[in-house]
Structure 1
Amino acid sequence: MNHPLYEYSLCIALSLMIFFGVYFLLARTPDKAIFANYLRSRRIMGCALLLLAANYAVHFFFELRFHHVNAAILMNLSTYFLCYWLFSSALTTLLDRFYITRRRLLFHLAAWVFFTLFSGIILLALPDGAAQKIGLTAMAVWLVCYGLWLARRLIRAYRRAVRLFDDSRSDDIAAYIRWLSIFTYWAVIFGVGCGLLTFLPDRYIFVWILSSIPFYLYLYCSYLNYLLFYEQVEQALEEEMPSEEEAAGMIDSDDMPEHEARPMQSDIAARLSDWIADNGYLNPGLTIRELSEILHTNRTYLSGHIKSAYNLSFRYWITDLRLEYAKRYMLGHPGQNIARIAEAAGFVSPSHFTRIFKAREGVSPTNWRKAQSGNTSVP
């Protein structure tokens, strides 16, 4: 039986999978120790893509789908299960270098073996009928639940990293890892969809193949772009990851040096007010560690004080201070351009300043200044 759309789509997808997989495995990264974790993540992803390519190759060269549909479904389910683990591991390790352990690896490999074994019994040993359909439904539920469980772990790691950045950095470091969140939700939708598309009638199966192409193109481009920002993200993770005592909230002012314990017990608010009055928040790239050193206090206590006093994370608090400064600067310098205002207020770029300003005020800085000029001219 001839299926040209199926064959063409498989040929395109297979070529891309092989290229992406080989690139992720062999492409060079900057010769710095800090990129070791990125390289490990990319190689794991490369293995996942080549595994998918092997799956596509069997379908393309042997037309397994049309000669033994149950064997094709078994191969797809087994491949997806293992790839779920590889995909989630590759992405989670970008945020947690200690995620992959020997125990965790053995657990997931054992789960994959059992899943494949049970799927094989259902598809190849049971006769067609109600029992097989019930068994396939159970395996599909197992596969979906497994994927959701892995996705939940990845999202938790992502949110933990975002909180860490927001509580420690004035710059929006979390913007560099936002693609991980987008890809995870897309992967959940795509993964569930693939499970369903596997059971499509033969004449529609090309939809299953074509739907994977934009998904993996986005992954490939995201990894390439992330290489530009990875060093900055990894440095932030290394520098700002709290110690076990800090993370557990076990730091006691009695255990701290006197020069740190004193402001915690008395004048931290006054010191902060003086620092704000001196416009210390305008320094680009400011971190809570630097501010805690300026104020001679502990960064964990300082972060807690900012949250309780202002009900904001460190980054949002600094951003609000910079926005208020930018407003005053615009009113005091009506002829100054937006790029200079953004630089003076400590923002990383004019576009970033404009985006943040519009999100907070509902209008662009230019329109806000025009509105304010109009208001002041009214008697």
Structure 2
Amino acid sequence: MEPSIYSYSLCVALPLMLFFGFYFLFAKTPEKVIFENYLRSRRIMGIALLLLAANYSVHFFFGIRFVDVNAAILMNLSTYFLCYWLFSSALTTLLDRFYITRRRLQTHLGMWLLFSVLSGVILLLLPGGTMQKVGLAVMAVWLIGYGLFLVRRLLLAYYKAVRIFNDTHSDDIGSYVKWMSVFTWWAVIFGVSCGLLTFLPDEWVFVWILSSVPFYIYLFCCYQNYLLFYEQVESVMESEVISEEEILCEAPSYHAEIAEKIKEWIDNDGYIRPRLTIKELSDILHTNRTYLSAYIKTTYHLSFRDWIIGLRIEYAKRLLAQYQTLTVADVSEKSGFQSPSHFIRLFKVIAGCTPTQWRKKGAD
């Protein structure tokens, strides 16, 4: 491989990695207590990016790939293993503030040390040949398996958060954290690819380096954008930590009474109230929100959000049919939706056509 191609690719990636890493570590966030978890997550991510930048620096300034390819592979494998943990921890802690514990930290650091030592024995002490190739294959499988284990843990936290949002809020709070799911799947593809590219011939190594540029730019932009919505999402997460008193509270025995209250509330179009939460509805109905959530699921077989959306769409249909002069934007606002575009998208999913098309069908 021409050393210049390899060097140029590092010249592109290394400054970006250093900038992103130091920015995540030292950039300020709003001085509110609620942002402590976001800051913790961003600092963990900053450490991961600086570790990768250190890896790139060794490649760039010392040309370790050309001096000792086995040492380069060892450094890459050890760095990836540790960064897998840091990346997943940074994202998971955004959704589960109690994820990082001393015991979990010690366990994963111990696994990293064991992985690094065994990789070093295979690459530096075993003679080249079949035995070394088999050993490297085992380490590669371990690395990929470890990454997939962390991905599963992150996705479970993500889906749990989305489920909480849908069970407690009429607004689509889950859309604010969707980038984590997108990034996680991209990270799976990128992480596995990086592991495989480590073993490629020298002339293809620059692909491994350049492929990191769009990946980390996307990560940086997502963290910056999430800062705009983090306070709202974290407030929801905090409000949904059920107290011990509520957990111990037995479900009310007045099933028929709560059904009557809900029917009266629906008849009065209470669901068109913007940004409605299950906590607000439980206060209106004078009931326990945990019981109310369970009642909605068992009675309507829907999450709170889907139930409210269904009621609002039916209300919107009545407005479209009765008031031909109302615009789609007017109907959207009167029905309690966040925006006309959001309303049209949901209407099309549920009704199978746009509000305008539905109104024309009704007129015909």
Q: Note whether the superposition's TM-score is higher than 0.5.
A: yes
Provide Cα deviations, 1:353-376, integer angstroms capped at 9, x if missing partner.
111112222222122222222x2x
The partner residue of 2:360 within 354, 370, 374 is 370
Query: For residue 332 of structure 1, what is the aligned residue in structure 2?
Result: 322
Q: CA deviation at 1:251?
A: 3.3
Query: For residue 342 of structure 2, what is the aligned residue in structure 1?
Result: 352
Q: CA deviation at 1:244?
A: 5.2
Amino acid in the other structure paired with 1:267: E
| d(CA) in 1 for partners of 2:246, 2:310 | 26
Q: CA deviation at 1:302?
A: 0.7
| d(CA) in 2 for partners of 1:13, 1:245 | 52
Query: For residue 190 of structure 1, what is the aligned residue in structure 2?
Result: 190
Query: For residue 72 of structure 2, what is the aligned residue in structure 1?
Result: 72
Identity value in percent? 64
What is the correspondence of 1:168-183 to structure 2 with a 5 Å cutoff?
A: 168-183=168-183
Query: For residue 250 of structure 2, what is the aligned residue in structure 1?
Result: 252
Query: For residue 140 of structure 2, what is the aligned residue in structure 1?
Result: 140
Provide Cα deviations, 1:270-322, integer angstroms capped at 9, x if missing partner.
10000000010011111111111111111111111111111100000000000
Rate the CA distance shift 1:179–1:274 in 2: closer, same or farther, 3 A.
same
| d(CA) in 2 for partners of 1:367, 1:63 | 63
| d(CA) in 1 for partners of 2:82, 2:244 | 33
Query: For residue 280 of structure 2, what is the aligned residue in structure 1?
Result: 290
Provide Cα deviations, 1:143-177, integer angstroms capped at 9, x if missing partner.
01111111111111111111111110010101100
| d(CA) in 2 for partners of 1:171, 1:363 | 21
Is 1:70–1:124's contact at 8 Å kept on the other side of the alignment? yes
| d(CA) in 2 for partners of 1:342, 1:238 | 29
What is the correspondence of 1:154-303 to structure 2 with a 5 Å cutoff?
A: 154-243=154-243, 251-253=249-251, 261=252, 264-303=254-293
Q: CA deviation at 1:265?
A: 4.2
Q: How many residues align?
A: 364
Is 1:164–1:241's contact at 8 Å kept on the other side of the alignment? no
2:220 aligned counterpart, secondary structure: helix
Provide Cα deviations, 1:230-279, integer angstroms capped at 9, x if missing partner.
000000000012235756xx5324xxxxxxx46x3441111000000001
1:318 aligned counterpart, secondary structure: helix
| d(CA) in 2 for partners of 1:343, 1:246 | 34
Query: For residue 31 of structure 2, what is the aligned residue in structure 1?
Result: 31
Query: For residue 342 of structure 1, what is the aligned residue in structure 2?
Result: 332
Amino acid in the other structure paired with 2:341: S
Is 1:326–1:341's contact at 8 Å kept on the other side of the alignment? yes
Is 2:2–2:203's contact at 8 Å kept on the other side of the alignment? no
Amino acid in the other structure paired with 2:284: I
Is 1:3–1:203's contact at 8 Å kept on the other side of the alignment? no
Amino acid in the other structure paired with 1:360: I
Q: CA deviation at 1:2?
A: 3.5
Amino acid in the other structure paired with 2:266: I
TM-score w.r.t. length of structure 1 = 0.94
RMSD after superposition? 1.3
| d(CA) in 1 for partners of 2:268, 2:108 | 55
| d(CA) in 2 for partners of 1:246, 1:117 | 49
Q: CA deviation at 1:3?
A: 2.2
Q: CA deviation at 1:62?
A: 0.9
Is 1:166–1:313's contact at 8 Å kept on the other side of the alignment? yes
Query: For residue 321 of structure 1, what is the aligned residue in structure 2?
Result: 311
2:31 aligned counterpart, secondary structure: coil
Is 1:140–1:195's contact at 8 Å kept on the other side of the alignment? yes
| d(CA) in 2 for partners of 1:353, 1:266 | 33
Q: CA deviation at 1:85?
A: 0.5
